[in-house]
Amino acid sequence: MTGPGAAGGREAAGGREGATGPGIRRWHAELAWLGRGDVRSRVLIEASGGVFRAVTPDVPAEVVPPGTERRPGLTLPGLANAHSHAFHRALRGITEAGQGTFWTWRERMYQVAGRLSPDSYLALARAVYAEMALAGVTCVGEFHYLHHGPGGSPYPDPNEMGRALIQAAAEAGVRITLLDTCYLTGGLAPDGTPEPLSPVQQRFSDGDAGRWADRLAALGPDEHGMLAPHARAGVAIHSVRAVPPGQMHPVVEWSHRLGAPLHAHLSEQPAENDACLAAYGTTPARVLDGAGALGPRSTMVHATHLTHHDIELLGGSRTCVCLCPTTEAFLADGIGPAGSLAAAGSPLTVGSDSHAVIDLLDEARRVELGERLASGRRGRFGAVALAEAATVAGHTCLGWPEAGEIVPGAVADLVTVRLDTPRLAGATPATALESVIFAGTAADVTDVVTGGRDVVRNGQHLLVPDVPAALTSALRPLLA
Ligand SMILES: [Zn+2]
């Protein structure tokens, strides 16, 4: 049990104000999951300067200070979407007509990528991040590789696309870790030979890792990797398909220098493993390990098709794994070894990746449901473990370990899920977290606070007033 006001031992960040000082905000949650702890009732949550100052369960409604906001339902910490490609949102639905494979889906994705400009990407990403905010996401990890103009020509500011994403996140009220992605080759042929970049892929490439590093330097992260108060720099190796091992070192070096998260796609498809074996004589996980790319600050995305030794390598190095179960199902990737990875020592996080749907509650429960389908057993991951994957573990793998828990000193992110919706009616306080994780959806999220600021209230986004209209107007020209 988490004691009153004693949930966690974080140092408060920023200037500390008194409990009755200026700028203080208070919420009284009917039920709140206090991160890692139990669900508690009648929780008085106080914040100032964007940081929680006090968290006190069992406070009767009659004694809360004037101005305290009531929060019926279950209040959670902010959700972290640890893996996003914002422009993939354009493919929702349209790639479901007919059949195909991961690789035919990728061709459609390249068509959309070929049409984007900084202005149209800003409009699309703002709308997509607003959709995320409505679903309770307070921080997104954007795995960003669409760097350059048509034919690979750099924009006047070579980071124009990345800056559009940072601006989009600000305008949608979410924090962002811009995972600036090194992408150099067109893939590996089945026999392991490198393939040239296709015309669209030329937009992704800086030519070599040295020039990738120069462009990242021009993006201007400070010594802590911050790009803006809401934005932090991370780095990414697209995959062993797109970055030769000899070009990985500058990316790893940047991660060490800034203390920045390093992400990579890993073993999403068997064909990637086969080509990697043909090219380098070993698995993608071993190639990345050989480049120094594994460790507690690193996150491997998908990790679907692993050997026993790969799992030991990831777990033993405490490398985080980001599962994207809806995308992995939509693209027929397979079911990754989540239980074995967790047992080996890898923290698990979740992401909506291709945005076939944006619903982090769905992603989280599918980690357990996939495990059940693959093993024939129930209950490998309980609601607390799944909620941790969608909150504190996700924020940590994006370089925001100070977020994702409702404890004093943490970033003041709150997500409230109503329990009186058709899906959740009948939920009981004792199993409210189980109800929300195993039956809740993005549509049950009513209120979202990011860094102490209201972003969603009563199901309405306060910064992007009509999110469906914003999505429609951003998507239409891309699909024409
Ligand atoms: Zn991805």
- In-domain check, residue 112: yes
Span 55-71, pLDDT tens digits: 999 999 999 999 999 99
Residue 83's closest CA among 140, 167, 163, 165? 140
Count of CA atoms in the C-beta half-sphere (13 A) of 342? 19
| One-letter identity of residue 400 | W
**Rounded to an integer, what distance in angstroms lies between the CA atom of residue 388 and that of residue 364?**
9
For residue 324, being part of any structural domain is answered with: yes
- For residue 339, what are its two tokens? 């239980």
Q: Which helix (H) or strand (E) holds 180?
A: strand 175-182
160-172 and 118-134 helices, crossing angle to 10°:
30
Dist. CA 212 → ligand 1 center (Å): 19
Residues 380, 267 share a domain: yes
Question: pLDDT, tens digit, for every residue of 216-251?
Answer: 999 999 999 999 999 999 999 999 999 999 999 999
Instruction: Mention every residue, 6+ apart, whose C-beta is less than 8 A from residue 218.
Output: 158, 159
User: Is 409 a domain residue?
Assistant: no
The Å distance, Cα 88 to ligand 1 centre, comes to: 9
Distance CA 25, CA 54 (A): 11
* Beta strands across the sheet bearing 460-461: 51-56, 39-48, 25-33, 69-76, 414-417, 445-450, 453-457, 460-461
One domain for residues 194 and 91 = yes
This prediction's pTM: 0.94
Give pLDDT, residue 77.
Answer: 98
Cβ–Cβ contacts within 10 Å for residue 104, how many?
Answer: 12
Centroid of chain to Cα 430: 29
Q: What pLDDT was estimated at residue 3?
A: 32
Rounded CA gap, 399 and 324, in Å?
Answer: 19
Residues linked to residue 139 through DSSP beta bridges, in sequence order: 80, 175
Q: How far, in Å, is the centroid of ligand 1 from the Cα of 268?
A: 9
Longest dimension (CA), the chain: 71
Show which residues are catalytic. 302, 353
Q: Are residues 103 and 226 in the same domain?
A: yes
Round to whole Å and give the CA distance between 273 and 8.
42
* Of 444, 466, 433, nearest in space to 35 by CA: 433
Who's near 114: CB < 8 A, 6+ residues apart?
A: 150, 199, 200, 203
261 and 149 belong to one structural domain: yes
Tell me the two tokens of residue 378: 């129930």
Instruction: Kindly give the distance from the C-alpha atom of residue 175 to the centroid of ligand 1, in angstroms, as a whole number.
Output: 19
Please state, in angstroms and rounded to a whole number, the distance separating the CA atoms of residues 475 and 89. 8
The continuous run of DSSP H or E covering 103 comes out as: helix 102-115
Cα 61 to ligand 1 centre (Å): 45
Q: How far is the CA of 440 from the centre of ligand 1 (A)?
A: 25
Rounded distance between C-alpha atoms, residue 405 and residue 285, angstroms: 31
The phi and psi torsions of 210 (rounded to 5 degrees) equal: -65, -45
Tell me the two tokens of residue 183.
Answer: 């992408």
Q: Are strands 226-228 and 231-237 parallel, antiparallel or unpaired?
A: antiparallel
Residues 44, 165 share a domain: no
Report the CATH number at residue 300.
3.20.20.140
Task: Judge contact between 51 and 412, C-beta under 8 A.
Answer: yes
Q: Do residues 294 and 319 touch, judged by C-beta distance below 8 A?
A: yes
Specify whether 220 is located in the same domain as 265. yes
Q: Are residues 222 and 339 in the same domain?
A: yes
Do the domain assignments include residue 462? no
Q: What is the CA radius of gyration of the chain?
A: 22
Residues 435, 288 share a domain: no
Q: Is 463 within the bounds of a domain?
A: no
Low-confidence stretches of the chain (pLDDT < 50) are 1-21
Residues 71 and 83 in one domain: no
Q: Is the distance from CB of 356 to CB of 327 less than 8 angstroms? A: yes
Is 477 among the domain residues? Answer: no
| Residues 27 and 119 both lie in one domain | no
CB distance 32 to 40 below 8 Å: yes
Tally of domains in the chain: 2
Shared domain check, 352 and 273: yes
Q: Residue 278: inside a domain, yes or no?
A: yes
- The helix (run of H) or strand (run of E) holding residue 120 is helix 118-134
**Cα 180 to ligand 1 centre (Å):** 13
H helical segments located in 142-234: 160-172, 209-219
Contact 110, 201 (CB under 8 A): yes
Rounded to the nearest angstrom, the distance between the alpha carbon of 300 and the centre of ligand 1 is 10
| Distance of CA 142 from the midpoint of ligand 1 (Å) | 9
Pairing relation of β-strands 453-457 and 298-302?
unpaired
Rounded to the nearest angstrom, the distance between the alpha carbon of 251 and the centre of ligand 1 is 17
Domain boundary among 397, 424, 439: 397
Sign of the Cα pseudo-torsion (329, 333, 338, 340, in order):
positive
How many Cα neighbours within 13 Å face the side chain of 12? 17
**Domain that residue 12 falls in:** 1-76+414-450
Angle between helical axes of 118-134 and 467-479 (0-180°, round to 10): 140
Copy the structure tokens of residue 329: 């199902």
Å from CA of 327 to ligand 1 middle:
9
Residue 418 is assigned to a structural domain of this protein: yes
In whole angstroms, what is the distance from residue 209 CA to residue 251 CA?
Answer: 7
- What is the pLDDT, as a whole number, of residue 46? 98
CATH code assigned at 62? 2.30.40.10
92 lies in the same domain as 184: yes
For residue 143, the CA-to-ligand 1 centroid distance in Å is: 7
